[in-house]
Amino acid sequence: MDMRVFDLFKIGVGPSSSHTVGPMLAARRFLLECPELFKVSKVQVALYGSLALTGHGHATDKAVLLGLMGETPQDVIPDTIEDKLTALASSGSMNLLGEYPVKFDMMDDLLWHKQEVLPGHPNGMRFTLTRNDGTSCDQVFYSTGGGFISTEAELLQSASTDNDNTTSSLPFPFGTMAELLAHGQRSGLSIATMLRANEVTHCSDAELDTGVDKIWAVMKGCISRGLQISGELPGGLHVKRRAAKLWRSANESADVLPHDGMHKVSLYAMAVNEENAAGGRVVTAPTNGAAGIIPAVLRYYAEDCKPSNPEVGIRNFLLVASAIGMLCKKNASISGAEIGCQGEVGVACAMAAAGLTAALGGTNEQIESAAEIGIEHHLGMTCDPIGGLVQIPCIERNGMGAVKAITAASLALRSDGTHHVSLDQVIETMRQTGADMQTKYKETSLGGLAVHVITVNHAAC
Ligand code: SF4
């Protein structure tokens, strides 16, 4: 398995990693790989399946346009996005990769195929470019969750090579938790140490630490902004941001309740997901829709657990969390469009539970147990965002996921590490449950809350 910690944790923008970050990356990559852009006379983008069904609410159209203009999720400045799109709408043209002018008609050149799904994944898109000499270039991309993208060929290739550890150059190659635990038993090393050893085959120790510290800094900043900003979220549902108001009242209240600590953890997570819903700067963890859980549990660790060496603990937390995310991505999915919300909030909960257990000194077996508990109690969770927006149930769901992660870590840390269900078994159960789940519950907004809570926005779709 060739995945890195920074594949799981990517700095980007909201509201969705699969529907915003992935499409933006795909649009830009399509152009970078097409020669002779100076001859382009037309560019067309077609969205399929879940991207077409929930793309308006998830800002897929905006993401694709920004990607064609050369923007990246990491570097685009959220406050400048609306101005760029307004300029495109009024001029009817854009500069591909910021350089090559082409006319772009939002009706003719951006197509929504809601009834059609491409064969590789529910989140498919086709890019086509025509040159003024009559030649053309086209490519299909899939956005497979968490900001990962693949062409058709790459998807087939990864399916055929993913289970082959024999050619890996990593010191601790693993494709299952059983393999990772076996490495630990043989070497006597912790999961965090083994992950670090794998990572430093790509970069130095110092570069790894700098990168991981930056991820935490962006997560922390996102919580802080979310705890300060009030108002209404975009998208037409008129959802009010609650984290800042509840945070103020929690801090001003004279009454101290036993569960105040957990209340604050929920607010950290909701603060991040409100920022995400507003199109702000967030880190995929492992997705945008589930981006609040890991930062919330990390802040709980850093502030409430009073660690003696928080810097090391936070790095270990994120390394171990990434190992769980890698296993879920490889052996099931982290895409709500593929397996429902169990693959987003459920996986984030497992990652946070494992990370917290590691940071608090848990054994490898206790880490496995915590991660397994985290997923087990999200099995079957559907993805049914109201109005196709990453707001209801997503924001509160992150608050709940963060609290469950702490409970999972606590149960594991107070046990001797033996447990009945293995992480590999529960990941396979999640995969099969997702395969059996009806399409209407997989990020299509055709079932669940999305149809039982009628909104002006939804009725108009
Ligand atoms: S319901 Fe879950 S999977 Fe679906 S958009 Fe919301 S957070 Fe993502």
Q: Which of 288, 383, 442 to mutate to test the pocket of ligand 1 (most atoms within 8 A of CB)?
A: 383
SS (H, E, C) 226-293: HCCCCCECCCCCCCECCHHHHHHHHHHCCCCCCCHHHHHHHHHHHHHHHHHHCCCEEECCCCCCCCCH
158 pLDDT band, cuts 50/70/90, is: confident
CA dihedral 442, 448, 450, 452 (to 10 degrees): 170
How are beta strands 281-283 and 93-96 bridged, if at all? unpaired
Whether the CB of 290 sits within 6 Å of ligand 1: yes
What's the gap in Å between 136 CA and the centre of ligand 1? Answer: 37
455 pLDDT band, cuts 50/70/90, is: low
Give residue-wise pLDDT tens across range 392-422.
Answer: 999 999 999 999 999 999 999 999 988 899 9
| pLDDT at residue number 163 | 59
CA distance 375 to 346: 5
- Checking if the pLDDT of 172 tops 50, the result is yes
What's the gap in Å between 106 CA and the centre of ligand 1? Answer: 27
Q: Give the chain's count of helices (H) and strands (E).
A: 20, 9
Whether the CB of 390 sits within 6 Å of ligand 1: yes
What's the gap in Å between 345 CA and the centre of ligand 1? Answer: 7
Closest CA to 125 of 191, 47, 53: 47
Give residue-wise pLDDT tens across range 299-320.
Answer: 999 999 999 999 999 999 999 9
Instruction: For residues 351-372, give the mean pLDDT.
Output: 98
DSSP class of 21: I
| pLDDT at residue number 459 | 34
Q: What residue segments make up the domains of the chain, in order of their start?
A: 16-159, 168-460
| pLDDT at residue number 1 | 75
Q: Report percent pLDDT > 70 for the chain.
A: 97
Give residue-wise pLDDT tens across range 260-285.
Answer: 999 999 999 999 999 999 999 999 99
Q: Which of 237, 344, 439, 440 to mutate to test the pocket of ligand 1 (most atoms within 8 A of CB)?
A: 344
Whether the CB of 344 sits within 6 Å of ligand 1: yes
- Checking if the pLDDT of 458 tops 60, the result is no
| pLDDT at residue number 164 | 61
| pLDDT at residue number 168 | 76
| pLDDT at residue number 194 | 98
CATH of 16-159, one of 3.30.1330.90, 3.40.50.2300, 2.60.40.10, 3.30.750.24: 3.30.1330.90
What is the reported pTM? 0.94
| pLDDT at residue number 214 | 97
| pLDDT at residue number 165 | 61
CA distance 123 to 17: 11
Instruction: Kindly give the number of the ligand 1 atom that is closest to the alpha carbon of 343.
Output: 3
CA distance 240 to 249: 16
Instruction: For residues 42-54, give the mean pLDDT.
Output: 97
Whether the CB of 393 sits within 6 Å of ligand 1: yes
Instruction: For residues 67-81, give the mean pLDDT.
Output: 96
Nearest residue by C-alpha to atom 3 in ligand 1:
341
Give residue-wise pLDDT tens across range 173-230.
Answer: 999 999 999 999 999 999 999 999 999 999 999 999 999 999 999 999 999 999 999 9
Q: What is the mean pLDDT of the chain?
A: 95
The terminus-to-terminus CA distance of the chain in angstroms comes to 40
